[in-house]
Copies of this chain bind each other. A is one copy, B any other.
């Protein structure tokens, strides 16, 4: 054991593919192919390899695999913010779909900042992920180039486009915004305010839907929009609702761009003694936890984030297998949930 070769060993005692191959009486290449389910390997050999794996307790080394194949089993998933529970649900669905297929989610939170997204992208791309899941289409030109140059399969979540070669799963934020506005119109409301925070692209698409619906009804009034770049929260919703009521006294409805704001607005209405929906109807967006518990229960749009996460992950799985998903753009249904606040 004092041979130079032995002294140079750095072996960690880890069970390697070589050990498995020897145990199964095949070559390492065959063992590798058998493990990865590459077809063209005899069924008997596959069985022998799997048995050897079980007996030895072999665990493949992702680092070695990534180095040799220049592709890991990690999928980078970029979302704006976890305090918006919408994205927690999305991640949950992504994880449930990807993990059983052998992929880990490498979660990145961009805080709605394109520059931060670009930085995360650089960092994660170095890890040779097997694929990319990103939120929406709004990013820096450099980010776009990074994604393109990586040549990695990439699926865009939450929004859709028909641009060729772009894979995406989402729903129409604009139409959903219009739908909830039309619901308020159908209740006889005419002075419908729009209150938004964060002002990210999807929020502004909802704003577009709101505007379109009101213009169509001949009720649009730009002064009824209250937009704040601050982070969305119940407290901000309450504050904006108060501000709205103090400055636009004739409104008869409010569409909040997210349920947390709407919940805050509803609580503020209580505090101010403003009757909902008698005096003002209130609607939210996303159908988050607690909205059905509010007083009165909140009318909102139930968005298919679980479905988006699952379908998006499935599409990515196809791309990673070099299959071509058809269609490349999937638009999922949302649902207006009418409760007592409108």
Contacts and interface: CB of A to CB of B under 8 A. Distances in A.
25 contacts: A59-B126, A60-B126, A61-B67, A63-B64, A63-B67, A63-B72, A63-B128, A82-B82, A82-B88, A82-B91, A83-B289, A88-B88, A92-B109, A95-B109, A104-B106, A104-B124, A104-B127, A234-B289, A234-B290, A235-B290, A238-B293, A260-B289, A263-B293, A267-B294, A271-B295
Q: Which of A107, A267, A270 has the most CB atoms of chain B within a 10 A radius of its CB?
A: A107
Q: Which 6 A-B pairs have the closest CB atoms?
A: A63-B66, A234-B290, A82-B88, A63-B67, A234-B293, A107-B107
A85 B81 CA distance: 12
A239 to B, nearest CB: 10
Nearest to A72: B63
Interface string A52-88: 0000000111111011001010000000001101001
A270 B295 CA distance: 8
A276 to B, nearest CB: 13
Main secondary structure of the interface of A (DSSP, over half): helix
Interface of A: 12, 59-64, 66-67, 70, 72, 82-83, 85, 88, 91-92, 95, 99, 104-107, 109, 122-124, 126-128, 233-235, 238, 260, 263-264, 267-268, 270-271, 289-290, 292-295
A293 B264 contact: yes
A12 B70 CA distance: 9
Contacts of A293: 234-235, 238, 263-264, 267-268
A271 B124 CA distance: 49
- With most chain B CB atoms within 10 A of its CB, the pick from A59, A66, A264 is A66
Contact of A235 (B59, B63, B292): B292
A109 to B, nearest CB: 7
A62 B289 contact: no
Nearest to A83: B88
A54 to B, nearest CB: 14
Most chain B CB within a 10 A radius of its CB, from A61, A105, A290: A290
Nearest to A233: B289
A191 to B, nearest CB: 25
Contacts of A59: 122, 126
Nearest to A268: B293
A83 B288 CA distance: 11
A226 to B, nearest CB: 18
